Amino acid sequence: MPNQINYSHTLATDPLRTFRFYAEFSETSDGVFNDKIKTGASGGWTGGFTSISGLSINTQNIQYREGGYNTTVHQIPGMTTFPPVTFSRGVLAGNDQAMVWMRGLFAVQAGGGAIATPGKSFRTDVTIYVNDHGNSAGAKTETPKMAIKLHNAWITTLNYTDLDATNGAILFETMTLVHEGLSVFYTNADGTPTAPVTSAMV
């Protein structure tokens, strides 16, 4: 088992920083919905965010008592749930991906629009990359070292900060996503997983 204690305290062994990250929203399997919000020819889009919160996994515990074994209560794992994840960023003119996503979801619920056609999907996978810190020469690097993947995510809430002419605050956009699984993995130099990520949760 490798040593989990950092005795060397070199730049290479420093923990990853929480402020070097970005999120990549994959193209859906049918390519229809995300084609409407993509920023590149390959589909999907990449966004920088001020904060991302709610990255956790919770497994329910079920208490079970058994006659003849009355000293302790058995703890049995139950259903696993994934709390909603919140993305916040400053509003930039022209960045309307979140609003287009919300409008597409509304079209599905209302029964109209191209995305409401059977077989089309408003769900997508979201991969959050945590980048490496600077090297020994002080140069900045953008090499992903770790990634967190949200499976089958879709937008459930979109809100904006209150408008107030009495202060100079930044206008923020916050969207909340629900999803069906969370995978955490480390990456190679090119950002690909060091091991295959094939299931909804690894």
Calculate the average pLDDT of the chain. 79
Measured distance CA(57)–CA(7) in Å, rounded: 30
Q: How far is CA 170 from the centre of its chain?
A: 23
Sign of CA dihedral 35, 36, 41, 44: negative
Residue 122 has pLDDT above 50, yes or no: yes
Q: Which residue has the higher pLDDT, 161 or 44?
A: 161
Residue 35 has a pLDDT of 46
Structure tokens at 155: 């937008």
Provide the terminal-to-terminal Cα distance of the chain, rounded to the nearest Å: 20
